Structure 1
Amino acid sequence: MEKFIDLLKRLISTPSFSKEEEKAAEVMREFLQLENIPFKVKKNNTWTFNKHFTKGKPTLLLNSHIDTVRPAKGYVLDPFSPIEDGDKLYGLGSNDAGGPLMALLAVFLHFYDREDLPFNLIFAATAEEEISGRQGLEIVLPEIAPVAFAIIGEPTRMELAIAEKGLLVLDCFAHGKSGHAARFEGDNALYKALDDIQKLRNFEFEKADGILGAVKITVTQIEAGTQHNVIPDICHFVVDVRTNEFYSNKEAAKIISELIDSEVKPRSFRLNSSGISVDHPFARKAAEMGIRIYGSPTTSDQAIISFPSVKMGPGDSARSHSADEYIYKSEIIAGVQRYIELLEGLKI
């Protein structure tokens, strides 16, 4: 595993913000070249097939991302210095998602030469996950289709997220009429927005008893007015909606639009909830191994995948995007072994 830890250190030392992953992609490709593994590229994405890839077998995708968020305020350590403290490895992207990326790469190499696999394997190191960008996994999927199943590497403490909530962002506009604040005139758009926000705070979607729980509605931004003595004629507020398996993003947007008086403009419908049944062979095998199965409240590249997928990897989501991010090297090593046990003999 030492070479994978060394590769992770190189990645930590290579700034790789979303849309700026060129050098990190080069690091991944140099590693594959040294391992004599042929690969394909598109933009800042890199993917490779197992040696005995055979048409007719189902294909399993192992995917994680090479991009990171920008360093959080409060960093004490250099975010681009891979500092080791015993078992701990510090650095931006070490936990999200360097550890999962290395574990999946190690698993791919473990099975790379196997001729008796009941499935094909594709390993993909992709870009723009942190911003749900359109130049990451989304442009790789048409190049590798069809895929029967995917493991998306994210820090889940090697617990199995068989579903994750979708993400819907709404720009809402309350409309009023401007006037002088000193006189009883005008129609205050800010007050109208507050009435709608109160409706959203009190509203609950009817269907909520699935693995993902209730739909979560959160107002996260608001802006109105031009100066202190002018009644605002428009108020803009932003709503973050995390959808469950019972509502598509389009359905959720329609329900909210009919609930409030403000004009509702969805930014996108593309990041819907996703997941697999507890009866899927991978989920059943995980359950037999005593692995905790749950629904994830956060969004990953699963949201753009149309085929069955799960989210699983070493590390802890609570450390993601935090100052002085770290992962335990032992977590990565244990994660590799757990992945191998799950894939050995799996039939999908």
Structure 2
Amino acid sequence: MSDAQRRIMDIEVEMARTQKNKATMSHLCALKARLAALKRQVIEQQNKKSGGPGEGFEVRATGDARVGFIGFPSVGKSTLLTALTGVYSEAADYEFTTLTCVPGVMTHDGARIQILDLPGIIEGAKDGKGRGRQVIGCARTCDLILLVLDATKPVTHKILIEKELHGFGIRLNQKPPEIYFKKRDRGGLNFQALVKQSVLNKDLVATILREYKITHAEIILRQDCTEDQLIDVIEGNRVYIPCLHVFNKIDKVSRQEMEIFASKLPHFLPISGALGWNIDVLKNKIWEYMHLTRIYTKPKGDMPDFTQPVILRNYKTSVKDFCRRIHKRLMDEFKHALVWGSSAKHFPQIVGSGHMLEDEDVIQVVKRI
């Protein structure tokens, strides 16, 4: 055990025995900042020893979006990949059947979505046990994570996996905090809270910054923030990914158990990969959680092409986003666009680059002559 890992354990013990109140808040904030910095140091040391940053498996990104299966061994990820994509991934009743990343492509509503069947992870994956760092490193590149759980096993497995992902900087079903942070060379701490804060104040922010040896900075809080959110912004290496909790093998549990899960767990979907139950619902949920939008193109003088939509990754995207998806230089020649669909007030509507498009809109781009 390295000195940094020993210090991490000591800090975690001290945090566990420290009662949280106004008098101890400053001390706890300092401990949390110190803990985050030490964990980052441990990961960097492991990367140096392994000769690289451990970015994950070498799987080339294809399609319009990427989905990763995360779960403990033998929960049915391989069977689910086959049900969604038709790609065969070896499945068996023993653990660690899948030892590398198996990719497949699911076609849904005109979108080609890459599905990654990742090897099962174990507790301590974030610390390098098993192939955990590779699995979680690959998960960081996904647009959606499917947390695949065995409905016959304890729900505590969900908590354990979420802890592993959180320790590697993955924030599930969270939005990036609305915090502006910038280091400066002089001027001390310029702190502004545009919204009333229930936890943070200037003194606590200064305490956290001191742990990073930062004395000059500008921080603007645009929402009610916690100390953990501020530390995430200062660390700067967090990723925010939507997650759907998929409970597999529901054919082996009672309906009453499923109703209890559904009432207490958000982002919950019961399925049976082996029997094909709820697979179509899962496809629709994948689309919904990734906020995919279909935009159809219309060449001048021709009918719209409804066979191959352009897929964008937000519910509402601008005409500029669409142009950049087509070609990075299209905006250089952009004059205006003609739009048909739910975002248009009349058909066609002449719009500029800032017009917000909606799902299944039709667009024709007019270039400058």
Specify if TM > 0.5.
no
TM-score, scaled relative to structure 2: 0.27
Question: Comparing both chains, which one has the higher relative contact order based on Cα–Cα distances under 8 Å and sequence gaps of 6 or more?
Answer: 1
TM-score, scaled relative to structure 1: 0.28
Q: Which one has a bigger Cα radius of gyration? A: 2
